[in-house]
Copies of this chain bind each other. A is one copy, B any other.
């Protein structure tokens, strides 16, 4: 699985576009992973949306991850789920998931990252790496130093999220991130496809490879 450009949808930022529409544009622009994140939908709505997004990801060769909700991820046959520290614990989620199911864990420190890797996480996401207004509840940015610390202690892929834009993506990759996750920098833009493509190109250049 490729983590370079990881797009998280947010219907409140998307100028009235539905999750699936945003996802389709992001995938067209080169997103490697799309994550469905919606804290307000009922589980029924989330499931129906996940079915749409899964198809879009599949058609575009991207991976599809559901935020928080393991049962929706499983029922919609997503590639995986992304869990925070208050969600179903990693070992419990693993127990009810099929082989190969991706489980990513949000972490805020090297200790949490190490624990996630030891518990069998497929990747960790440092959240938030910088200050951000998009996720209201996540607190201040942890900074690149914490990202470097995580890079020292884990060998699974590291995704960085929170306040990343065109101006700082190179420094985030240089600090050890394998993937760049963005919400507002792509799904909050009028031209979602163009914003995704630009970010993808920047990531590819920073990593010294073709987009």
Are the C-beta atoms of B92 and A75 separated by less than 8 Å? yes
**How many whole Å from A43's CB to the nearest CB in chain B?**
5
- Copies of this protein, total: 2
**How many whole Å from A163's CB to the nearest CB in chain B?**
25
Q: Which residues of B contact A210 (CB under 8 A)?
A: none
Are the C-beta atoms of B96 and A75 separated by less than 8 Å? yes
Are the C-beta atoms of A47 and B96 separated by less than 8 Å? no
Q: A43-B86, A75-B93 are in contact. List 18 more A-B contacts (CB 8 A).
A: A42-B86, A43-B68, A43-B88, A44-B85, A44-B87, A44-B88, A45-B86, A47-B88, A47-B92, A69-B71, A70-B75, A71-B74, A71-B88, A71-B93, A71-B96, A74-B96, A75-B88, A96-B96
